[in-house]
Amino acid sequence: MSVTINQKKLKERYAKYFELEKPYGYMIEELVHSLYEKDGQIQGNYLTAIGLFCYSEIVGREIMKYKNPYTNKKRLGNKKCFDLFLRDYMGYKSLMDDHKDIYTWYRNGLCHEYKIKGPSETGVFVYYDESSTPKFEDFGVDTTKGILLSKESPKRMFIVLPYLEDFVKGIEKFLEEKNLAK
């Protein structure tokens, strides 16, 4: 896959989401603005990756509070909130079913150890370049998702742009559900 999106196109693509209700529009705007163009390619930094995972947990918590308004806030476990959003709203159900420790490896790893927990062949990338190694297609991994994992390989990768796309779709799905209930 060759990436032909530049910073201007990226901002134009997501601009309509900046107006979503708070805090969701703000989250998307901050994430998109954290990406920048350098040498003709979209670049990101560690804070973009960590922001996506922290915001995923926060959105999951907002969904749990919406669905269970009388639940004690202490009962809303961080992992449960994160898993709910990824599984039911971002479309990561099969990945979550196959890999129970995504929260620990990715969210906690990035937040507390400053890396994805796992073997040395882990990394964070802005987009997936088919010419790069490792080749996840060889392990039957869906490279259109932001989290790349396989039962056949210990490698763990995170790709910012597809995860951002799924994150925005997840927020849209939740807000649509919320608006239909009114």
pLDDT tens digit sequence for 100-142: 999 999 999 889 988 888 776 677 776 655 555 556 666 666 7
* Count of domains observed in the chain: 1
In a domain, 2, yes or no: no
In a domain, 1, yes or no: no
- What pLDDT does 131 receive? 57
Domain range spanning residue 33?
A: 7-180
Q: What are phi and psi of 158, to 5 degrees?
A: -135, 130
pTM (predicted TM-score): 0.87
How many CA atoms does the CB half-sphere of 33 hold within 13 Å? 9
What's the mean pLDDT when you consider all of the chain?
84
In a domain, 163, yes or no: yes
Please state the separation of Cα 149 from the chain's center in Å. Answer: 14
Fill in the DSSP letter of residue 29: H
**Residue 154 — pLDDT band, cuts 50, 70, 90?**
confident
In a domain, 149, yes or no: yes
